[in-house]
Amino acid sequence: MKTILSLILCFIISSAIGQQVTYQVLEDQPEKAYSKFIAPEFGMDYNATALCIYVGANARYGLSALDLEGAFRYDVYNGIDGLGGTFLVEGGGFLPLKSFNKQKDVPVILSYNPYADTKYENGKKYNIEETKYIKVPDGQYLNQIGVRGGVHYRRLGAQDMSYTTTSDINLAGVYLGGQFTSQAYVKTRVNNDVERIGAGFSRFYGDVLLLPVSDIANPAANEGLTADGVFGWRVGFQWYVSPHDGDYRFLGPSVFTTEIGKKPLTGFNFNLSWGFAFMSKR
């Protein structure tokens, strides 16, 4: 019996040791993360006049001291008459004023399995996801703080309370605000075998919108809309999940963007999009 217990104990210990992950840091260079790209995207935009579903693209490209930023979105469904035709065009730039490094844990995704296991609850079958990762302590993050600004044009739809009259709303002007960006890039060799990269790029921004052109084409459709000046605001966040060209890219070239804010005539605004970056550069 002692022999059997000893064998079982040895098996358990050897299995635990076999599951340990060892790694070696090959590179820790945050400037190698991609932060410039073009990302075709699709998403939704909600405001006081309609819920819109759109397709488009957003982009970031750099000059010597200035990063160019822009977006185009075309509404394939505008929630007014079910038709598209409304859109957004925006273009501007980001001027970094301060750059600094900060040490922080950098997660490195080793694998992701959405069907690792199953469970049954209340007679229903559910998949159990499994994400394997390591955290590299004291990794370098390159952070930048600066100002941004540009031009903004949004065409939206409006409808009267009896749902008989529709019209376009035009919002045109400029935006001015600040932005914080952060990026990391750590290359590792795992279990003295495969290489895995932990990298990410994110930006957080806040803008004041000055939209002197805030009008509705057909006044008969302005029931429920309030002419509340020419100023608006917004805050936004963007995350490029795996900005590198390694063998394994968690969620591929996904770029997620979200914004909330308020604009003249259309009131509270919220949008969310999912894009796929290509033509990525550092």
Half-sphere exposure at residue 45, Cβ-oriented, CA atoms within 13 angstroms? 27
Task: Report if residue 66 sits inside a domain.
Answer: yes
Task: Report if residue 17 sits inside a domain.
Answer: no
pLDDT in tens, 109-165: 887 776 767 778 777 877 777 778 788 888 899 999 999 999 999 988 766 555 555
Task: Report if residue 121 sits inside a domain.
Answer: yes
pLDDT in tens, 186-238: 988 888 888 888 889 999 999 999 988 876 666 655 555 666 778 999 999 99
Task: Report if residue 71 sits inside a domain.
Answer: yes
Task: Report if residue 162 sits inside a domain.
Answer: yes
pLDDT at position 11 is 37
Could you tell me whether strands 267-276 and 254-263 are parallel, antiparallel, or unpaired per DSSP bridges?
antiparallel
Under DSSP, the state recorded for 100 is: E
- Of 242, 246, 133, nearest to 195 by C-alpha is 246
In this structure, the number of other CB atoms found within 10 A of the CB of residue 243 comes to 27
Structure-block tokens of residue 224: 């429920």
CA-based Rg of the chain, rounded to a whole angstrom? 25
AA letter at 24: Q
Is 127:115 a contact under the CB 8 Å cutoff?
A: yes
| 3-class secondary-structure state, position 12 | helix
Burial status of residue 230 (CB atoms within 10 A of its CB: 0-12, 13-18, 19 or more): middle
Number of separate domains in the chain? 1
Q: What is the pTM of this model?
A: 0.79
- Selected residue with higher pLDDT from 11 and 110: 110
- Selected residue with higher pLDDT from 50 and 32: 32
Which of 9-18, 64-73, 105-114 tops mean pLDDT? 64-73
- Mean pLDDT of the residues in the chain: 81
Q: What is the DSSP string of 110-147?
A: EEEEEEEEEEEETTEEEEEEEEEEEEEEEEEEEEEEEE
Task: Report if residue 6 sits inside a domain.
Answer: no
∠ at Cα 17 (13, 19), nearest 5°?
Answer: 120
Task: Report if residue 211 sits inside a domain.
Answer: yes
Domain residues for the domain of 80 are 24-281
Task: Report if residue 170 sits inside a domain.
Answer: yes
pLDDT at position 19 is 52
Which residue bears the tokens 């936004």? 236
- Selected residue with higher pLDDT from 177 and 19: 177
Q: Of the ranges 75-79, 89-93, 109-113, which one carries the lowest mean pLDDT score?
A: 109-113
Residues 36 and 62: their CA atoms lie apart, in Å, by 7
- Selected residue with higher pLDDT from 9 and 131: 131
Strands, E assignment, the chain: 23-28, 36-46, 51-62, 67-77, 87-121, 124-159, 166-190, 194-216, 231-240, 254-263, 267-276, 278-281
pLDDT at position 167 is 66
Question: What share of the chain has pLDDT > 90, as a percent?
Answer: 37
